[in-house]
Structure 1
Amino acid sequence: MHTSTRRSPGRLLGALLVSGALLLGGCGVRLDGPPPEVPSPEPGEILRQEAALETAEILALAEAAGADAQASGATGDVPGDLAHIASDATTHLTDLGGVWTAPPRPSATDGTDSGEEPTDAGTTPSGPVTGADVLDALEGSTAVDRAADPDADADLATLLASIAINRALWAAELRADLGLSDVPDGTADPATAELDIPDTLPASAAPVVRTLDALGYTQEVIAARGDEAERSEAAGAAVTLRDMAEDVAIAAGIDGTDADPRAAAYSIDTEDLQGARATLIAELLPGWLAQVPDTEGADRAPLIALATQAAFLSQDPDLRVATYPGLG
């Protein structure tokens, strides 16, 4: 909360009002009344509060599970996963503005504390917590739904989209380290899922068009130089990527215009084609995520799915999951 440092008119007016209240009180005039009502939150603030509460729950679970893992002397990657998940949740909670708690309400008769407890700012697990509990919370996160809500402004939607991707990556990592290979609901691997391009995208999606088309070109070169076994797969990927570039160009309204960045060939490192491919794939995540602020709420969910797929494709298994994937 911002506190003003101005000291003249407002302070003087406040002093006069206090003095007036004392004088009226001495004359037997009562100014007692009910305490002012807490302002009703705007829809965007409700979304932010819900996101903060979910984040606080994930933080509490990860911390509790991590403490239990340390106390039991657990080894392997799970304790480290839990520590990083808790660390990321702490940062997310701070950047979301924390959980709002109602201040103590003054009494309607004497202005003193009414004794009502403020809303609990977090969640304290009531019993032992395991890594599987944290996994359930990550996989059950509703960050994507809130990012796609029309009441989420551009900044909140972008923040929640990146948080959702962070949780998806950590869920996959934690699931693997817990030795749980099968996803209960049969969800496909995000890296291999067939995803739809939104029907409408902002014209600022031009860099994504170029990246997809350049990836298609790179796959064509890989197919031309590869052996028979990899030629078919690379050629098929090239067609898919070129088609995706076409779909994005049409959705963004730049197909065949001067703003269409596609070319017949691209300058790539032909001595390191896999490296060139990896570099282009890494451009997709921030490219997709950059479209979220200017996209209508209903179209944000498929965009976030595409960004999540790009995150899985570009995630180095030897590197820690970024706190804010796609946002630097």
Structure 2
Amino acid sequence: MSAPNRPTAARPRPAPLRRAGAVVVAVTAAALLAGCGLRMETPPPVEPSPDAVEQARGRTAEDALGLADDARELLASAPAEPVAAVLADVAAFSELHAEQLGGVYDSGLPDPTPSASPTDAPDEPAPTAETVLAALAEDAATALADADTVPDGPLARLVGSVATARTDLAGRLAAALGLPAPEITVPAPTTEDASTDDGGEAPSTPSVAPTPGADDASAGAPAGLDRTDLDALTLAHDEAGYALEVVAAKLGGDQRTLAQQTAAAHRDHAERWALAAGSTGQLDDPRRAAYALPPGLDDPAVATGVARGVESAVADTYATLLASADAGGRGDLLTGLADATRRARVWGATPVAFPGMPELAAEPLPTPSAG
């Protein structure tokens, strides 16, 4: 007996089943191809494009390694002692710079544009003391520009310190060679620095182009700095001015003149930053009537040590604030770091790899090597 005619439910469409079957077939085929050692074509990996921060970091590190290599190669020729001593510092400091910067990035990808074979490449001339001097000046200027514009504040502080060290090395090498110091220009700041005429510039020190409008003590502060930052600059300069006034009273001759001139310049800088902060004449003006000084200032060694110490403190303050200031407006701070480092050196400070960064002062120098 046949069943009565009833409406039948709609059947599932066969198309999805066919698509599912196709997917299974495709997956199976891919697995078989993989088992046979074949794989579908994929695009080759692409070298990542570095951003502005990585470009500045990598450029500064690469320049440091180049300076170290040239100095080491030149040391192998046993140059005269005054030059050799500076070259040893160029090599050691530059290796520390590259290390702190993280070295040169290598993606591990093949070079898309292979270089010429060693037999085809022209031989590079051996470095000379003069070419190392030129490289120091050029790389210092490059690092100064990067320190001013790189978006990353802590990196700006490190690169600014490296630039200052290279500037000092260039001055020392020029003096050892009996050559004039190269001019290394600090980027023009967005605000106008107070006077850079601090007196007593050492003839072996690379000159820094004066900032336009240097006599305008009421110039604004670098963008990104707040009242606390400006108070720190005011206090550092005022303390240095006071200390050098006392030192001037304890010394004689050219050292007394130098201390007097530098003290006056520090007082001017303190007033400039106080005006920018709006603290001049206010109850919360950070400046004090007097500052504590160590005993024994009648000893010239103690007096000059105080001068070195206050100049180093000013350098540290400027370097610290490089990390806070906005990119493109750090020229004032870079100038302040360079000037204070130079003045400390005039008073006999030992050259260091990272001016303005005392936390890196304990970094051990690489073992000197002529090879």
Superposed CA offset, 1:234-274 (max 9, x none): 66544432221011123345444555310223333575155
Distance 1:229 1:136 in 2: 32
Of 45, 59, 64, the match for 1:55: 64
Of 217, 232, 255, the match for 1:207: 232
Of 107, 127, 130, the match for 2:128: 130
1:144 equivalent in alignment to 2:144: yes
| Residues 306-325 of structure 1: pairs in structure 2 closer than 5 A | 306-315=336-345, 320-325=350-355
Distance 2:70 2:281 in 1: 51
Aligned partner of 2:362 in structure 1 is none
Of 58, 75, 82, the match for 1:66: 75
Structure 1 position 327, deviation (Å): 0.8
5+ residue gaps, structure 1: 1-18, 106-113
1:247 equivalent in alignment to 2:272: yes
The change in CA–CA distance for 1:29 and 1:81 in structure 2 (over 3 A counts) is closer
Query: Number of paired residues?
Result: 293
Aligned partner of 1:3 in structure 2 is none
The change in CA–CA distance for 1:115 and 1:213 in structure 2 (over 3 A counts) is closer
Superposed CA offset, 1:92-125 (max 9, x none): 11221211234234xxxxxxxx997599xxxx98
Distance 1:280 1:317 in 2: 11
The two structures have a TM-score, normalised by structure 2, of 0.66
| Residues 1-328 of structure 1: pairs in structure 2 closer than 5 A | 22-26=31-35, 30-67=39-76, 69-70=77-78, 74-105=79-110, 126-141=124-139, 142-149=142-149, 151-180=150-179, 182-183=180-181, 196=214, 199-201=220-222, 202=225, 203-221=228-246, 237-257=262-282, 259-269=284-294, 271-272=296-297, 274-315=304-345, 320-328=350-358
The change in CA–CA distance for 1:125 and 1:324 in structure 2 (over 3 A counts) is farther
Aligned partner of 2:16 in structure 1 is none
The two structures have a TM-score, normalised by structure 1, of 0.74
The change in CA–CA distance for 1:146 and 1:101 in structure 2 (over 3 A counts) is same
The change in CA–CA distance for 1:63 and 1:248 in structure 2 (over 3 A counts) is same
Is the 8 Å Cα contact of residues 239 and 291 (structure 2) preserved in structure 1? Answer: yes
Distance 2:38 2:255 in 1: 91
Q: Which has the larger radius of gyration?
A: 2
Distance 1:161 1:230 in 2: 29
Distance 2:334 2:317 in 1: 11
Identity of matched residues, %: 28
5+ residue gaps, structure 2: 1-27, 117-121, 186-200, 298-302, 359-371
Tell me the SS of whatever aligns to 2:321. coil
Distance 1:31 1:258 in 2: 76
The change in CA–CA distance for 1:300 and 1:77 in structure 2 (over 3 A counts) is same
The one-letter code of the counterpart of 2:71 is A
Structure 1 position 295, deviation (Å): 0.7
The change in CA–CA distance for 1:27 and 1:138 in structure 2 (over 3 A counts) is closer
Distance 2:253 2:109 in 1: 73
The change in CA–CA distance for 1:23 and 1:277 in structure 2 (over 3 A counts) is same
The change in CA–CA distance for 1:143 and 1:259 in structure 2 (over 3 A counts) is farther
The change in CA–CA distance for 1:288 and 1:219 in structure 2 (over 3 A counts) is same
Distance 2:29 2:159 in 1: 49
Distance 2:112 2:329 in 1: 46
